[in-house]
A = this chain, B = another copy of it.
Amino acid sequence: MDYSLMAGGKRLRPIMVLAAAESLGGSLESAMPVALAIEMVHTYSLVHDDLPAMDNDDYRRGKLTNHKVYGEAMAILAGDALLTHAFFCVAQSHKRFGVPAERVLAITEELAVLAGARGMVGGQAADMLGEQGLTKLEELTYIHTHKTSDLIVFSLRAGGHIAGATEAQLEALSEFGHALGLAFQIQDDILDIIGDEAKLGKPVKSDEKQQKVTFPYFIGMEASEQKVQELTNQAKDALIRSNIPNPERLLQIADYLMKRDH
């Protein structure tokens, strides 16, 4: 659990939780347990995705994958325990920092939906089935939305809940997250083709080797780059149009992600 959790990475999802809370004037301290929780969920999903029965990856974040170090059984169990512990962490935002129990239950429920069968796991299942050659652009968008956007949407909404967001504010955060998550994943597809292995911490062209379809495969590199730009603008517009008082950090994150090289 520790090995994979502490292997680094951008910490994008926890930052999203904190930035969303901040955008509404909420306390960063009381958002921290949920920030930890979402990184645990993200990490568990990577540990399981890397397994031989799934993507069969040897490297992640520049280090050997969990099962290459600890064996498959321990990697499966470490993932299971990280997922389980995430729900413990969420509960701590009430117990330790006094976030109202009703809000914490709403966060728990949204985590279970967005990380579950109709969310992230559903996206991963579709991805696995897609490797059998069934994927169309529509299906790829489904996979990207659920594998990636759903946890980003969760992170933003959870930060919002902690800060006592209104329904309209939660909706704006969701819209920002959906568009940004898809942009993020298309950027990942692009970086898998033109990125730098040292910066990415994993081999490039893995999608091609695994015969995975990507946005560049369907619509070409130029249109994919344009799509990232469009989605990022769409995400930013959702926030700018909203009555979220301090969206600056979230807008900066959107710009940062569009320009990232890893």
Contacts and interface: CB of A to CB of B under 8 A. Distances in A.
A54 interface: yes
A134 interface: no
Given A53-B76, A54-B76, A79-B80, 8 more contacts: A53-B71, A73-B128, A74-B128, A81-B117, A84-B111, A84-B115, A101-B101, A104-B105
A113 interface: yes
A105 B117 contact: no
Interface string A161-184: 000000000000000000000000
A109 interface: yes
A85 B117 contact: yes
A124 interface: yes
Given A81-B117, A84-B116, A121-B80, A91 B71 contact: no
A54 B73 contact: yes
Binding site of A, secondary structure by majority: helix, strand, loop or mixed? helix
A35 to B, nearest CB: 17
A48 interface: yes
Contacts of A73: 53-54, 128
Given A53-B76, A80-B83, A112 B88 contact: yes
Interface in A108-157: 108-109, 111-113, 115-117, 121-122, 124-125, 128
A194 interface: no
A84 B117 contact: yes
